[in-house]
Amino acid sequence: MKKRVAVVFGGRSVEHEVSVITGLQVIENMDRDKYHIIPIYINKKGKWFTGESLMEFKNFKENKLDDIQEVILTPITNDHNLYNHPENIGLFKKKIIDKIDVVFPTIHGTNGEDGTIQGLFELMNIPYVGSGVLASSVGMDKIIMKDVFKANNLPIVDYRWFYRKEWIENQERIINIIEESLDYPVFVKPANLGSSIGISKAKDKDGFIKAMEIATRYDRKIIVEKSVENPREINCAVMGYDDNVIASLCEEPLGWEEILTFEDKYINSNVKGTGKEGSRRIIPADIDDNIREKIEDIAKKSFISIDGRGNARIDFLLAKDGKIYVNEINTLPGSIAFYLWEGKGYSFKELIDNMIDIAIKVHEDKNDNMYHYDADLFNKIHLGGSKAKKM
């Protein structure tokens, strides 16, 4: 019997369009013999929709989404039904549109990649692909992520972080901290955003002020990192659950100088890569075996340190002196990284199968936990009067 898989994409995020592309890539490559696909699109206002026209990219380009209907999921435990929105059929009435077995979230950035939507799926007690609430939120917040990596003795660049409010109230103090502890050049980044949006390199005080003004438009938390000058970027994906984790091939993106921009990632890149110098990526990366082995090992440890599951891509900076730094981890759907798995013998279809299988195993494991404890607490505590009595 086919599993009924809901692919959720879109969302209230500056990465909305990227999410739509990712969701449709997943839909296009799912095995129709194994899965009944239920597309769920969240528009920029946060409304949820389903409909057959959501399965075709050209319908988004031509704005031909005529058959879609607004729907809702409920946070009720074990209610895995997709309902018609009550306002469409009368107040307090719900009509079941479909039943869901597994959710495949592909929402990039805010409210999707950060653990928010994963919390809904946890409340529903439904299997879902990718990392859980904690790992997703840690992987999304560059500050907390680096704190966790640092605590696990993983190599990272030096950094400082600030709230937007601090910057508004005392710019000179923050400038002094950066100049005394990091010095220029530095990278300034919104803490909770992907796709290189809002990131700038500052080479002096004026550049730093401008970079902070850009970053604070996108987030209330800002991270400032010491620049590694003229590094090579090497990326490696990992897949698994608990400590049973495998690594993909490594890649080296080409054609970027100081920042791998939004356009480099999604418009200019040759996604599959050929290993040829003419492509935008070299896969596998042209690095020594000892460097590759270290990167694979650190990638696995990074994933395990945040309690990741499913699939993720870890981005590294390889300095000219041979030092390796973890730059960031991209949990699903920040990167499905299918092109890094092809050389390891996984087609996109097989990668999707693996991620769904992991989601089901994680769900079964979670449901082995006890969720009640008989303490007879109500009969041991007496409440009433002006004061509550102690046990």
Sign of the CA dihedral 369, 307, 4, 14?
Answer: positive
Annotated binding-site positions for Mg(2+): 315, 328, 330
> Which residue reads 């002006």 in tokens?
386
Q: How far apart are CA 45 and CA 250, in angstroms?
A: 38
CA neighbor of 114 nearest in space, from 235, 11, 237: 11
Instruction: Choose the catalytic residue: 19, 136, 137, 195.
Output: 195
Tokens for 29, please give them: 């490559």
Annotated binding-site positions for ATP: 142, 187-189, 195-196, 225-233, 327-328
Instruction: Choose the catalytic residue: 13, 15, 137, 200.
Output: 15
Instruction: Choose the catalytic residue: 131, 200, 269, 335.
Output: 335
* Residues whose CB is less than 8 angstroms from the CB of residue 368 and which lie 6 or more positions away in sequence, other chains included: none
Q: Is 195 a catalytic residue?
A: yes
Q: Is 335 a catalytic residue?
A: yes
Decide if 359 contacts 36 (C-beta within 8 A): no
Residues known to be catalytic: 15, 195, 335
